[in-house]
Every structure is written in structure tokens, then in C-alpha cells.
Amino acid sequence: MRNLQTHLRQLRERAEKALTVPSAFGPDFDPALYLKEATGAGTADGDLSRRMREAMLLSGFDPEERDRAGSFMQQNEEILYEEVGRAYKGQVEIMAIEKALEKYDWLWDYWWQAVPVDADKYTAYAALYQKGGYFIRILPGAQVDRPIQSCLLQSENESSQRVHNIIIAEEGSRAEIISGCTTVPQVETGMHLGISEFYIKKGAFLSFTMIHNWAEEFHVRPRSAAILEEDATFINNYLLLKPVRSLQSNPRAILRGKGARTRFNSIVYGQEDTVLDLGTVLELHAENTRGEAVSRAAADGRSRIMMRGKLVASSNTAQALLECKGILLSPNTEMAAIPELEVLGAPRADLSHEAAVGPISREAVEYLMARGLTEEEATSLLLQGFMKVGITGLPEILEKAVDEMTETISMGTL
């Protein structure tokens, strides 16, 4: 990039001006409260405690790297591990983002290009106080048949992570990434600011599954965006299975290339006093682009869930569907589904939405009971059908966690 120092100075100036700008959606908090210096990563990789390993597994990360093409792990601010499997050398690159920026001058051309640095105070703090994050690149034409995995772990109370990730799927490549963000059990409160920028090149396919397992008093503000070129495909899966103090996210996919495809799947379970404000923005700007955003939410306890979705089309041949559905499991919970469709000079674009919020259908439960199921079995079966939205390739421990969550929910509704 020309005039790199000028560019970086301009980014910093924009971030500084945004330090007091709240997010357009969701609850507000002061990130400065969590900017204390980390005291150290603690245990080394070979010495990870049983509880830490369990937390990693429940975020989709296998410390033994069984059936994995490569791995990245960051604990607090320290990079513990970055490695590509021997069979995938020359097909995949994995390294700390700082190391990648030193290695590749061209990578600065991607830095803060998909996500605006001054979107709000959370992007600003992530930019000004960034420590770590990963660079994953799938090389041109590579067909990676095993998942790549990453884990961002926080093991200190009242700590924060401010990471910036860049993922590039080069032309004609194909890969799957499973990324987990989690805490160890003794951590109660903290902050996570995660910037993730995806660049899906011509004819590439990337599936990205994000699993969040936070502590009950954590504030989480992921900021992500994907830019898709011609005939590119991006699948984004998101799971939240545990309570969190507040989480606000509104990932964006920008379909710039002809024939680009994207699908976003979300499964979230609001418990206790959790506040979730989650959305998806799909922008279809090129010919024959297609998009889907499917959300499933179950709200229990005193949780509050906002499900947002926005489809934007500026091509007459664009098609997209937005589907937001929520189940209320407690009289004390709150939920809202807010779909938005926008067409820009493309009167033949085809955008549609489905939104529903309500309890489990009593008629459906009684229908299944009339065919021999118990009430518990009928409720569990309906919840399983409701919560599964086509997320494939999950590790066995995560599939089990989703099933256990469904069983727990069904027991609580009886």
C-alpha cells in the first residue's frame, strides 16, 4: 500500500474520533473499564488443565488436533500455538496477525477495509488497543478437506481481548474453519472485542463456524464483514449456548461479484439476565447473487433478545431470504424480531422475510402425544426441529452440547 504511514495515521485519527460513539444497536458499556494489562498466559499448551481443555472442546477446538488441517490458539494476549498440518503445507497459512503484517506488505491493503475502523467505540478500542488475532489464508486452488481451527481463550478475570482477524480464501479454494471464543470456568467478568474481516475470492468456498461460550458477566462485541467476489460462496454459522451479560453483533456480507452466494445460520439460547442484540446484513450488489439469513433463538429466564436482519439489493437478479424465529420459554423474557428489506434501483429484485415469536405450539405437542409420544418427548422433538437450521460439520462434542441444551430447554417448558 502506498503511503502506509499516512494511511495508518488516518486510521488512528478516525478511531480516536469514534471513542465515544455508541453502537447503533444494543446496550452500551465503557470498554476502558477492561483495559488492564494481562499478567500472562499462565499455563503452557502442554500443561493445560482439564477444565481449560473442556472449555476449549466446547468452543469447537480440539487440543489434540484430531482431524484438523491446522490450528491457532491465543490465551489472553499471548499466542500459544500456530501450526499447519504437514499434509496441508503449501495449501494453508496460519499465523498471528502481527507476524503476517510483517511478512506481507500487501496485507495492509485488507486492513480495516471490510469493517470500518470508526463504526463505533468498540471498533475504535479494538483498533487503538489491539493485541493479537489471527491470519488464515487458503491458497489458490487448495481443497482443504479437514477443518482449520482457532481458539481465543480468556483465563483472567476482568480481562479483555482486543483482536483483529483476517481470513482470505484465495481464488478457487475450498475450506472450513471452526473458531471458538471462550473462558475458563473461574473467569466471571471481562470484555471481548473481535474484529474479523473475510475476503472470499473468485470461485472460492468458505464455511466459518463461530462458537461463543462466555462467562455470565462478560460483554462481547464482535465486528465482522465479508466481501465476496464472482461465484464465491460464504457460509457463516454462529452458536451461543451459555449465558453472557451482553452481546451485540451485526455481521455483514457484501456480495460484489456476479453469482456470489452466502448463507448465515444462527442458534442462540438466552438464559438468566443475558442481553442479546444480534443481526445480519446481506448486501447483494451484483447479478445473480443469492443470500439467506436464518436465525433461531430460545429465550428463558429474564433474558432479552433482539433479532435483526437487513437485506439490501441493487441488482434486478438478486434474491435473498431473511428468516427470524424465536421461542419464548419464560413469562419474564423479552424478544423482538425486526426484519428490514431495502431495494436500491432494482425493481425486479426478489427479497422476502419470515418472522415469528411465540411459545411452543400446544397443538403440535398434543398432536405428537396422540401418536404415542410423552409430553417430554414431544416437546424435545419439536425443539430439536426448531433449533437445527442446517449447520453441518460440527465436532461431536458440540453436537452433543446442542442436543443437551435442547433437552434442558424442553425439561424447563414442562
Report pLDDT for 36.
Answer: 76
Cell of 250: 451485526
> For residue 307, is pLDDT > 90?
yes
* 3-state SS, one letter per residue, for 22-38: CCCCCCCCCHHHHCCCC
Nearest CA to 90 out of 106, 75, 69 is that of 69
Rounded CA gap, 10 and 27, in Å? Answer: 29
Rounded CA gap, 216 and 214, in Å? Answer: 7
Please indicate whether residue 249 or residue 366 has the higher confidence score (pLDDT): 249
Instruction: Give per-residue pLDDT as tens, 322-347.
Output: 999 999 988 999 999 999 999 999 99
Q: Beta-carbon neighbour count of residue 145 at 10 Å?
A: 12
User: What is the radius of gyration, based on Cα positions, of the chain?
Assistant: 21
Burial pattern 9-25, b for ≥16 Cβ within 10 A else e, equals eebeebbeebeeeebee
Nearest CA to 43 out of 5, 78, 14 is that of 78
Write the Ramachandran bin of 83: left for phi over 0, alpha for psi from -120 to 50, otherwise beta: beta
Instruction: Give per-residue pLDDT as tens, 352-392.
Output: 999 999 888 889 888 888 988 888 788 778 877 777 766 65
Strands (DSSP E) found in 104-214: 134-138, 148-154, 159-169, 174-183, 189-200, 205-213
- Strand 246-249 versus strand 217-228 pairing type: parallel
Query: Which range is least confidently modeled, 311-315, 365-369, 404-408?
Result: 404-408
pLDDT mean over 68-84:
95
Rounded CA gap, 189 and 75, in Å? Answer: 16
Secondary structure of residue 4 in the 3-state scheme? helix
Burial pattern 200-236, b for ≥16 Cβ within 10 A else e, equals bbbbbbbbbbbbbbbbbbbbbbbbbbbbbbbbbbbbb
Rounded CA gap, 87 and 263, in Å? Answer: 29
Rounded CA gap, 329 and 364, in Å? Answer: 16
What phi, psi does 316 have (nearest 5°)?
-65, -20
Please answer whether residues 112 and 130 qualify as being in contact, where contact means their C-beta atoms are separated by less than 8 angstroms.
no
Rounded CA gap, 22 and 405, in Å? Answer: 33
User: Cα angle vertex 174, ends 168, 178, to 5°?
Assistant: 70
Query: Which range is least confidently modeled, 15-29, 58-72, 146-160, 240-254?
Result: 58-72
> For residue 411, is pLDDT > 80?
no
Q: Beta-carbon neighbour count of residue 370 at 10 Å?
A: 9
At which residue does the C-alpha cell 480481562 appear?
A: 159
Please answer whether residues 265 and 391 qualify as being in contact, where contact means their C-beta atoms are separated by less than 8 angstroms.
yes
pLDDT mean over 290-306:
94
Report pLDDT for 144.
Answer: 97
Rounded CA gap, 40 and 349, in Å? Answer: 53
pLDDT mean over 139-158:
95
> For residue 414, is pLDDT > 80?
no
